[in-house]
């Protein structure tokens, strides 16, 4: 049998292999999307704008994403998973703490991740809402993930006898909604410092979940 030793069909370019170049384009597109969706808005940004801002040709755009909607979903996922990871880490660092302390850690971590960039605020609190059926679906899925985390934490605290039982789905939804609108308003008007915002929201979370 003669071995068909196939030379890799791909070639290195500017020192990077195909996968790296593709990943770099994808990243530039996501950065451009954060910027344009987060300042001008998803609906009013055509793919062309996205491509020129990212310095990616439309040919390559379609190599990375199916369409504009897919970019928004990827961006939203990235932002949200970032925040959820930060939250999980913060919780893991206070493993045996009482619910109040865990709550402060979690909310602070979540908040800081999001408000570190006003464009993130706008994308995850405004642009993804009702953008399209598919986007709306992932938004609701992430929402369920947050509700699950809150509920899990809450039930554990109840089991430890730290707080009385309550409807955590309701509390989580109230907290999520309150956070969204307060943070978005803050990012628009900056009426208080980030620290003051944090204090106010941590207090709110405490009231809603353990108060």
Partner DNA sequence: CCAAAGCGAAAAGATACATTTTCGATTGTG
Partner DNA sequence: CACAATCGAAAATGTATCTTTTCGCTTTGG
Q: Shortest distance, CB of residue 168 to its own copies, whole angstroms?
A: 12
210 binds its own copies (CB under 8 A): no
In the list DNA, its own copies, none, the entry touching 174 (Cβ below 5 to 8 angstroms by class) is its own copies
Sign of the alpha-carbon torsion through 32, 27, 55, 133? negative
Q: How far apart are CA 99 and CA 193, in angstroms?
A: 26
Q: Shortest distance, CB of residue 80 to its own copies, whole angstroms?
A: 15
Measure Cα distances from 30 to 42, 121, 205 in Å: 13, 15, 31
Sign of the alpha-carbon torsion through 165, 167, 169, 175? negative
Q: How far apart are CA 209 and CA 174, in angstroms?
A: 10
50 binds its own copies (CB under 8 A): no
In the list its own copies, DNA, none, the entry touching 129 (Cβ below 5 to 8 angstroms by class) is its own copies
In the complex with its own copies, the residue whose CB is nearer, 78 or 180, is: 180
Q: Which residues lie near DNA (CB under 7 A)?
A: 7, 9-15, 18, 21, 46-48, 55-62, 67-68
164 binds its own copies (CB under 8 A): no
Residues ≥6 apart with Cβ < 8 Å to 125: 180, 181, 183, 184
Label residue 157 exposed, middle or buried (CB < 10 Å: 0-12, 13-18, 19+).
Answer: buried
Among 12, 24, 27, 43, binds its own copies (CB under 8 A): 43
**Segment near its own copies (CB under 8 A), from 54-62, 109-117, 155-163, 180-188?**
180-188
173 binds its own copies (CB under 8 A): yes
Sign of the alpha-carbon torsion through 194, 199, 201, 202? positive
Residue numbers at the binding site for its own copies (CB under 8 A): 41-44, 126-127, 129-133, 136, 140, 143, 167, 169-170, 173-182, 185, 188, 191, 200, 204, 207, 211
């Amino acid at each position: 049998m003669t071995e068909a030793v196939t030379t890799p069909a791909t070639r290195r370019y500017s020192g990077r292999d195909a996968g790296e170049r593709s990943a770099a384009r994808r990243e530039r597109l996501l950065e451009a999307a954060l910027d344009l969706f987060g300042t001008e808005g998803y609906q009013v940004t055509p793919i062309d704008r996205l491509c020129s801002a990212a310095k990616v040709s439309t040919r390559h755009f379609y190599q990375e994403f199916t369409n504009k909607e897919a970019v928004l979903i990827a961006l939203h996922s990235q932002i949200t998973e970032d925040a959820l990871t930060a939250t999980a880490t913060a919780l893991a660092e206070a493993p045996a703490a009482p619910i109040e302390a865990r709550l402060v850690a979690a909310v602070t971590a979540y908040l800081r991740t999001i408000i570190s960039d006003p464009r993130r605020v706008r994308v995850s609190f405004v642009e993804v809402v009702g953008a399209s059926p598919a986007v709306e679906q992932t938004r609701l899925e992430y929402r369920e993930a947050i509700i699950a985390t809150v509920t899990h934490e809450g039930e554990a605290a109840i089991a430890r006898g730290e707080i009385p039982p309550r409807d955590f789905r309701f509390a989580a939804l109230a907290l999520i909604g309150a956070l969204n609108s307060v943070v978005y308003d803050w990012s628009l008007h900056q009426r208080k410092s980030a620290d003051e915002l944090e204090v106010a929201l941590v207090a709110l979370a405490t009231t809603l979940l353990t108060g």
